[in-house]
Amino acid sequence: MKKEFAVIGLGRFGGSICRALSEEGMEVLAIDIDEDKVNEFANIASHAVVADTTDEAVLKSLGIRNFDHVIVAIGDNIQASILTTLMLKELGVKHITVKAQNDYHEKVLSKIGADYIVHPERDMGKRIAHHIISNNVLDYLELSDEHSIVEIAANGNIAGHSIMELDIRAKYGINIVAIKRNKEIIVSPQANEVIQSGDILIVIGADTDINRFEKKAL
């Protein structure tokens, strides 16, 4: 059975989620209080409706609890975002993703039981900062305050050496979980795997150890 999604708030973030889901062939109900926004998505989403989602009766009439996943992408109106999330939760929606505007908003959302809370501006800002600081860092995923998974471009300093020779785990306390080589991906590479120039290493570890590796080994 095809999964059904509802996106509430069709600003830059919600709009982009709505487009991407629709391009993937998903059933998407696009919702916004602003009629112009809804018209913009009428030909993109499966259905598009004008609705104020802080009104419980409206949410019920949309049959919102039957959707597999509801994304709340209401931007600046934090009160509307919280109220909407609370009601989705009360109506029994199984998966709720909410965009948080700030840390306080995030705290409230997690208290009322939002399943996934995203902070796109903050996270993208951090990613870009990492990339600016080190050209070798292509992407990064924060696992906790202190641990990350990072994509690092291998350079001439390590190319031509095997993982064993580089002794990365013992020296830096980090692990190479995969190597991206052209279109291929080598998962859990063996110690005798030789790093090639152009390889992208996917490493996991403590941020301080990853930084040390970037500074000393690359």
Please give the residue ranges that form the binding site for ligand ADP (CB under 6 A).
Answer: 8-14, 31-34, 37, 52-54, 73-77, 80
Residue with Cβ nearer ligand ADP (9 or 205): 9
**For ligand ADP, which is the closer residue by CB, 52 or 146?**
52
The nearest distance, CB 113 to ligand ADP, in angstroms, is 19
Q: How far is the CB of 117 from ligand ADP (least distance, A)?
A: 15
Q: Which is nearer to ligand ADP, 79 or 208 (CB)?
A: 79
Compute CA distances 51 → 4, 37, 59, 77, 81, whole Å. Answer: 18, 11, 8, 15, 14
40 vs 151, which CB is nearer to ligand ADP? 40
Q: To which H or E segment does residue 56 belong?
A: helix 56-61
Closest residue to ligand ADP using C-beta atoms: 75
* Beta carbon of residue 33, minimum distance to ligand ADP (angstroms, whole number): 4
Report the nearest approach of ligand ADP to the CB of residue 58 (Å): 9
Strand segments, DSSP code E, in the chain are 4-8, 27-32, 47-50, 69-72, 95-99, 116-118, 137-142, 147-153, 175-181, 184-187, 200-206
> CA-to-CA distance for 53 and 84, rounded, in angstroms?
6
Handedness of CA 4, 9, 15, 17 (dihedral sign): negative
Token pair for residue 111?
């208290």
The whole-angstrom distance between residue 1's C-alpha and the CA centroid of its chain comes to 25
CA distance 167 to 84: 51
User: How many angstroms separate the CA atoms of 167 and 175, rounded?
Assistant: 10
The least distance separating ligand ADP from the CB of residue 90, rounded to whole angstroms, comes to 16
> At its nearest, how many Å lie between ligand ADP and the CB of residue 71?
11
Considering the complex, state which of residue 14 and residue 189 has its C-beta at the smaller distance from ligand ADP.
Answer: 14
Instruction: Name which of 80 and 179 has its Cβ closer to ligand ADP.
Output: 80
- What's the residue count for the chain? 218
